[in-house]
Amino acid sequence: MLSVQDLHKSFGDHHVLKGVDFSLDKGKVLVIIGPSGSGKTTVLRSLNLLEMPDKGSLKIGDANVLFGKRLSKKAVKQIRQKSAMVFQGYNLFPHRTVLENVIEGPVQVQKIDKQEAIQKAKELLEKVGLREHIDKYPHQLSGGQQQRVGIARALAIEPDLLLFDEPTSALDPELVGEVLKVIKALANEGWTMIIVTHELKFAEEVADEVLFMDQGTVIEKGQPSGLFHQPEHERTKQFLSRIR
C-alpha cells in the first residue's frame, strides 16, 4: 500500500533524511520514534509533499512519484489526495466553526455536495465525541477537543493513509488520553496510519511495527514487543533507556 525508498532531503547544508526506506501494508499502523531532530516529522511531511524530497521514490496505492526532478501538478495532486495529516498544532481555521473546518476539504477540494459533506461531518464529529460542539469556534474548545476536530477533518476526505505528527505533544497531560483513545479506535477500525509520537506505552499498544530513527536514518525497525523490550541496536537501547 505504501512504499518509501531511498528518501533524501536537505535544507541548505543540513542533510535531514539520508536514504530512508520502509513500507506499510493496508490497515496497519506504523509508529516512528526517535530523538528530536532525527527527521521523523520531515518523513511525514514528505509523504504528502508538504516537503519535497531531493531524491528517492514514494508510492501510495496506485499513485507513485520519483523525486529528483520537477513533479507535474497532476502527480502532486494524486499523492496529496491519498493522505491526510493531523498536526501537533491543530492548524484549524480560527474564523470557522468546527463544522466548517471539517467540511472544508470535501467541499472546496473534492467538490462534494455541501449537504452531503455536512451530514458526513456530523457523523465524524459524533465518532470523535464532539457532535454537540459543531457550531463552536476553535478558541472555545480545549486543546484535546481541537485535536479531535483535526482528526475528524482528516477523516473527512477519506484518505488511504492517515499521518499523525506528535498528536499529543501540545496538550496538557490530562487531555492526552482523550486523543489517544480516538486514535486507538481508528486503528481498531483498520485505518492505515503512520504516527510520530513520544508516547511509548501508546505506541506499544497501537503499532503493528515501530521504526526508530536517528540522524536522518532508520536505525532499527520491528514489532513493538521486540523493539521496545529487546532492541538489537545499541543506539535504540540508549534512546529507550533515557526516555523511560
Number of structural domains the chain divides into: 1
Give the tens place of pLDDT for each residue, 125-154.
Answer: 999 999 999 999 999 999 999 999 999 999
Is 98 a member of any domain? yes
Residue 181, in any domain of the structure: no
| Domain span including residue 139 | 92-158
Residue 149 lies in a domain: yes
For 210, residues 6+ apart whose C-beta sits below 8 A from its C-beta are 30, 31, 32, 33, 203, 221, 222, 223, 224, 227, 228
214 within some domain = no
Whether 239 maps to a domain, the answer reads no
47 assigned to some structural domain: no
Assess if residue 103 is contained within a domain: yes
Q: Is residue 108 part of a domain?
A: yes
- The pLDDT tens digits for 192-223 are 999 999 889 899 999 999 999 999 999 999 99
pLDDT in tens, 18-76: 999 999 999 999 999 999 999 999 999 999 999 999 999 999 999 989 999 889 988 88
Burial 156-174 (b: 16+ CB within 10 A, else e): bbebbbbbbbbbbeebeee
Please tell me the pTM assigned to this model. 0.93
DSSP structure class, residue 157: T
